[in-house]
């Protein structure tokens, strides 16, 4: 089965993309090259082979593509203005990302290296904090996996827990909407998704990559 076509948005000096294909550092850097640039900084985030001493099988990424693409663009445009960059490109991979392969590439060009370094780091933190992208950590010693928000420090929920949380929140929203409130009825058979985050308290000794949010299992990839 062919992978979905990449979703991208570009204008002079800015390029953002979501793709199921293997990421290409050279192609990403080409989006930011400029004869006026004295520095190009490239960050590549890769899948490591362990997490908390557990062997990792791979990472699986999902995104709500329309919103995520807009968020990536807004982040890139703001940093381009803030640091007077010549170019900035953000490319994020979706689907499965095996050990050692890149899940995100950020390329930044500027007249001087200091601005490029700062903008690249800020871009990564903003993407992790704001982009509508979620990841499933799959471990070698576990048939299931853990959904996490795509940022450092997040707690994870197992797939079954996440599914129950989605169902409970969806049911609650439906009850609040239905009794005595006029409005458009949901189409029969259409599944609704909660808009807010799903968060559970941290358990003793539990760590992860960032707060857990709705993994949007039916979102377009």
Query: Other CB atoms closer than 10 Å to residue 5's CB: what's the count?
Result: 9
Is residue 35 classed as helix, strand or coil in its secondary structure? coil
Question: 130 among the known binding-site residues?
Answer: no
Question: 42 among the known binding-site residues?
Answer: no
Question: 202 among the known binding-site residues?
Answer: no
Please state the φ and ψ torsions of residue 19, each to the nearest 5 degrees: -150, 150
Question: 136 among the known binding-site residues?
Answer: yes
- Residue 105 class from Cβ within 10 Å (0-12 exposed, 13-18 middle, 19+ buried)? buried
CB 124 within 8 A of CB 76: no
Please state the φ and ψ torsions of residue 76, each to the nearest 5 degrees: -65, -45
* CA proximity to 198, closest of 166, 176, 159, 221: 166
Strands 14-19 and 87-93 come out as parallel
Question: 128 among the known binding-site residues?
Answer: yes
Question: 137 among the known binding-site residues?
Answer: yes
Known binding residues: 112-113, 128, 135-137
Binding residues for substrate: 112-113, 128, 135-137
């Amino acid at each position: 089965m062919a992978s979905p076509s990449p979703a991208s948005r570009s204008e002079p000096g800015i390029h953002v993309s979501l793709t199921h294909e293997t990421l290409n550092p050279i192609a990403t850097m080409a989006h930011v090259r400029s004869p006026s640039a004295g520095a190009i900084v490239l960050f590549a985030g890769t899948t490591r082979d362990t997490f908390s001493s557990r062997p990792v099988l791979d990472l699986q990424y999902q995104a709500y593509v329309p919103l995520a693409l807009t968020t990536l663009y807004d982040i890139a445009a703001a940093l381009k203005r803030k640091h007077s960059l010549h170019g900035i490109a953000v490319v994020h991979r979706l689907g499965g990302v095996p050990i050692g392969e890149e899940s995100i590439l950020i390329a930044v060009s500027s007249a001087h290296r200091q601005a490029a370094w700062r903008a690249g780091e800020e871009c990564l933190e903003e993407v992790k904090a704001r982009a509508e992208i979620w990841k499933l950590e799959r471990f070698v010693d576990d048939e299931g996996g853990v959904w996490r928000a795509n940022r450092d420090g997040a707690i994870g929920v197992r797939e079954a827990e996440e599914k129950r949380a989605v169902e409970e929140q969806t049911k609650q929203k439906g009850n609040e909407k239905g009794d005595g409130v006029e409005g458009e009825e949901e189409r029969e058979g259409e599944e609704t998704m909660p808009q807010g985050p799903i968060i559970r308290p941290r358990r003793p000794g539990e760590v992860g990559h960032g707060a857990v949010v709705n993994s949007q299992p039916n979102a377009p990839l």
